[in-house]
Amino acid sequence: MNVTDDVSTMAILEPSSTSAVNPSTAHSSAEDVQAPTIIEPRKGWWHFNWRDLWAYRELLFFLVWRDVKVRYKQTLLGASWAIIQPTLQLVVFTIIFGRLAGVNTNGIPYPLFNLAGLLPWQFFANTVGQAANSLVGSASIVRKVYFPRLAIPTASVLAGVVDFGLSFLILLALMVWYRWPPTPAMFLLPLFLLLAMFTAMGVGFWLSAINARYRDVRHATPFLIQLWLFATPVVYPSNLVEGYWQFLYALNPMVSVVEGFRWALLGTQPPGLLMLISVMMAVTIFSSGLFYFQAVERKFADII
Amino acid sequence: MGYVTLRDAIAERLRGRTQKATTTELWALNGVSFDVQQGEVVGIIGRNGAGKSTLLKVLSRITEPTRGRAELYGRVASLLEVGTGFHPELTGRENIYLNGAILGMRKREIDRNFDAIVQFAEVEKFIDTPVKFYSSGMYVRLAFAVAAHLEPEILIVDEVLAVGDARFQKKCLNKMQDVGQQGRTVLFVSHSMQSILRMCQRAILLNQGQVVADGPAQQVVGVYLGKGTHSIAERVWPDRASAPGKEIAHLRAVRVRDVDGDVSDTIDIRTPVTLEMEFVVTTGGYVLMPHFRLYNEDNIAVFTTLDLDPEWRRRPRLPGRYVSRVTIPGNFLAEGSLYVEAALTTLDPPIGQFAERDAVAFQVIDSLEGDSARGDWAGNLSGVVRPLLPWTTIYEPSA
């Protein structure tokens, strides 16, 4: 076995082999010196390949681009769905909670109050739903090509930003209609959107990875999202939750996202220290999702 | 074959069936070890289930090995399927970018090769049409064109050339040969010995997850198909001593001939194929029954055909040399490799004289021109045979 040869491009050898190639000598004559790709069973529990994720950033872009493009190509009404869907939901919520239930919004017109929460919520709910089914939906690619699998649920979440941007126009229109001036804090909106994205990715990593093995996730996800909606102050103001319950409530990062949106857009109470709990929770969901995903990732091609 | 080293090196558990008991454990690959030098084009051959696909999947990083280690120096692109990730709603142009990115191409690389891809695929006029409106032939051509313009240092290719019309297949093979000549390293799995011999200097034969032979392609293909013959579509036993047979008759040659009568291991699905056996009768006075049996890649006997030629059917044979031929009609066999068993037995009493498994082999290639049994369907078609059958439809307008 002659793996120390200078032009060796591929070698399969056993782990204990004494003739292991030093990549720098193996490629000393080549122009672009590249570390070899090592294929072997993973040991330990954390082996995240950041280098690969970076190398495949263009693929991530193309997956996002495909998701956006296909979504609007296949439908009769195209991009207007991003506007119609939240508008209709807004009308329903306004009638039920604004008029019939008479939810107290501290003087903010109910449609405005609702939409400021509905937008980030819809972004979250839609992207989590898409991400959960994304891996299984890409089974044909996963079985035939290597690339960092993380790109698939990540693309689902990123593609949702485009929808969000479109539906944001309704909110702007509504603010003009109600002559509601934006606050300077509006520039902090991207931060709250980022928090929602972060949470959605974490949940998306979890659900998509579990879905690869247990297809029950497809049925459980809508239910989970529905429950989550009621745990988020979209249709009601968050001050309904009082005292120590607030700490528990803040464990849902979407609470701070919605509160942040209302504060930045409508000038309600700024999200307080409870936001720290939300951010920590989002980080926990994200990193645990990432961890679980990469732990089961190597089996995807076989079980999907 | 000095550089064959069999070691416990790389191994893979057969998918998913190992969860309960260790007794059901099956190793799809075990003890496979080899080096490939830069610029080598290596063919991987073996029957279905030999571990070829698993090897490619491990080297492409699609599945992770249970044990063992592989080192790859340079960018790797694997092509286990043509058109992975193509989206029917997107245009040809959009799919080139999407598919290219999925296969690991950079955007600027695709930009640079875009015109060449379109030209190679011959779809210039339809490049901005969604691919769902493409004919199956156009679809496959575009998909292959993208893959053919990959520029990795190491290219891993599964048998993706078995579709497409003969002219396009030839074009693809030429392109692949160019890739090899540009100093890239290619691992190529194929059932077509003709492609292997044409493209690869070296071949590795796998059987039940192990390397059986590794060396010059000609030699390894010979090992695979029995004893060293030049063409897999023809096998000749020059002398009595080596020839299979008994005291009544022995086999001297088996051949596969195409519609033009030429010896060929590649048969267009639409055209007939003729099998021929040449045998010598040394003891006269027996009624003989020559027959052929065809096996497919999955080792399933597709059919057995007996010589019922009325002229010889019940007639005792005189000593001498005989050539028996049978023609299998076009539009009957399924695409893929077929392995021919040539056999002969006396009838009364029945004494087998020879039964030569895998005497010759040939590859049936389907057409994408819409006139074979697959019609306009470019996807998988299962079945041991693929007959072109007449269909009729009765239509009653609803009241």
Residue A63 has a pLDDT of 92
Q: What is the mean pLDDT of residues A147-152?
A: 91
Q: For B96, what's the count of Cα atoms within 13 Å in the CB-facing half-sphere?
A: 30
The pLDDT tens digits for A96-131 are 887 788 777 777 888 899 999 999 999 999 999 999
Instruction: Check whether A7 has a pLDDT greater than 50.
Output: no
**Nearest CB to A9; choose among B7, B33, B153:** B153
Chain B window 22-81: which residues touch A at a Cβ cutoff of 8 Å? 32-39, 57-76, 78, 80-81
B-interface mutation test, from A7, A8, A9, most B Cβ less than 10 A away: A9
Tokens linked to B50: 């030999």
Mean pLDDT of A124-146: 91
Contacts of B209 (CB under 8 A, 6+ apart): B11, B27, B28, B29, B30, B31, B32, B50, B51, B54
pLDDT of residue A245: 84
Closest to B33 measured CA to CA, from A10, A88, A43, A182: A10
Q: Which residue has the higher pLDDT, A299 or B394?
A: B394
| pLDDT reported for residue A13 | 36
For B336, the 3-state DSSP assignment is strand
The arithmetic mean of pLDDT across residues A243-268, rounded, is 89
Take residue B165 and report the two structure tokens written for it. 């019309």
Interface confidence, given as ipTM, is 0.79
Residue of B nearest to A139 (CA): B85
If one compares B366 and B229, the residue with the highest pLDDT of the two is B366
Q: Is the pLDDT of residue B64 over 60?
A: yes
Residue B169 pLDDT > 90, yes or no? no
Highest mean pLDDT among A191-195, B135-139, B265-269, B368-372: A191-195
Does this model's pTM top 0.80? My answer is no
Interchain contact, B185 vs A9, CB within 8 Å: yes
pLDDT of B54 strictly over 90: no
Are B165 and B5 spatial neighbours (Cβ–Cβ below 8 Å)? no
With CB atoms and an 8 Å threshold, state whether A34 touches B37: no
Residue B165's pLDDT band, with cuts at 50, 70 and 90, is: low
- Closest residue in B to A70 (Cα) is B89
Question: How near does any CA of chain B get to the CA of A191, in Å?
Answer: 30
Q: pLDDT by residue (tens digit) across B312-322? A: 988 999 999 99
Nearest to A9 among B67, B68, B154 (CB): B154
**Which residues of chain B are within 8 Å of residue A3 when distances are taken between CB atoms?**
35, 71
Tell me the pLDDT of chain A averaged across its residues: 81
pLDDT mean across residues, chain B: 83
Interchain contact, A58 vs B98, CB within 8 Å: no
Which two three-digit tokens encode residue B254?
A: 């088996």
pLDDT > 70? residue A24: no
Choose the weakest-confidence range: A36-50, A137-151, B218-232, B355-369: B218-232
Region of B384 (left: φ > 0; alpha: ψ -120 to 50; beta: rest) is alpha
pLDDT of residue B23: 46
Would the CB atoms of B101 and A62 count as touching at under 8 Å? Answer: yes
Q: Is the pLDDT of residue B328 over 90?
A: yes
pLDDT above 80 for B399: no
In the structure encoding, which two tokens stand for residue A76, read together? 């009769």
Low-confidence winner among A19-33, A266-280, B136-150, B189-203 (lowest mean pLDDT) = A19-33
With beta carbons under 8 A apart, name residues in chain B contacting A147.
Answer: 102, 104
- Higher-pLDDT residue of A62 and B369 is A62
Res. B226 pLDDT band, cuts 50 70 90: low
Q: A275: distance to nearest CA of chain B, Å? A: 39
Give the contacts of B395 (CB within 8 A, at least 6 positions apart).
Answer: none
Residue among B73, B84, B97 minimizing CB distance to A144: B84
The mean-pLDDT minimum among B14-23, B45-54, B109-118, B198-207 falls in: B14-23
Would you state the pLDDT for residue A105? 78
pLDDT for residue A156: 94
Compute the distance between CA of residue B244 and CA of residue A69 in angstroms, rounded to an integer: 64
The percentage of chain B sitting over the pLDDT mark of 70, rounded to a whole number, equals 88
Asked if B69 lies within 8 A of A69 by C-beta distance, the reply is no
Residue A240: which pLDDT band, with cuts at 50, 70 and 90?
Answer: confident
pLDDT of res. B228: 41
Identity (one letter) of the amino acid at A96?
A: I
Residues of A in contact with B36 (CB under 8 A): 9-11
Average of pLDDT values for B5-32?
A: 48
Q: Which of B33, B90, B106 sits opposite A70 (nearest CB)?
A: B90
Q: Is B229 a residue whose pLDDT tops 90?
A: no
Q: Give the residue, B379 or A51, on which the prediction is more confident.
A: A51
pLDDT of residue A158: 95
Q: Residue A53's pLDDT band (boundaries 50, 70, 90)?
A: confident
Cβ A2–B3 below 8 Å, yes or no?
yes
Calculate mean pLDDT across residues B249-260.
Answer: 94
Residue B301: C-alpha distances to residues A301, B285, B314, B333, B346 (Å): 32, 31, 27, 12, 22
pLDDT at B171 over 90: no
B332 pLDDT exceeds 70?
Answer: yes
pLDDT band at residue B138 using 50, 70 and 90 as cut-offs:
confident
pLDDT above 70 for A226: yes
Q: Are B137 and B369 spatial neighbours (Cβ–Cβ below 8 Å)?
A: yes
CB contact under 8 A, A1 and B104: no
Q: What is the pLDDT of residues B72-94, one digit of tens each?
A: 888 888 888 777 888 888 999 99
CA distances from B53 to A161, B73, B368 (A): 39, 21, 25
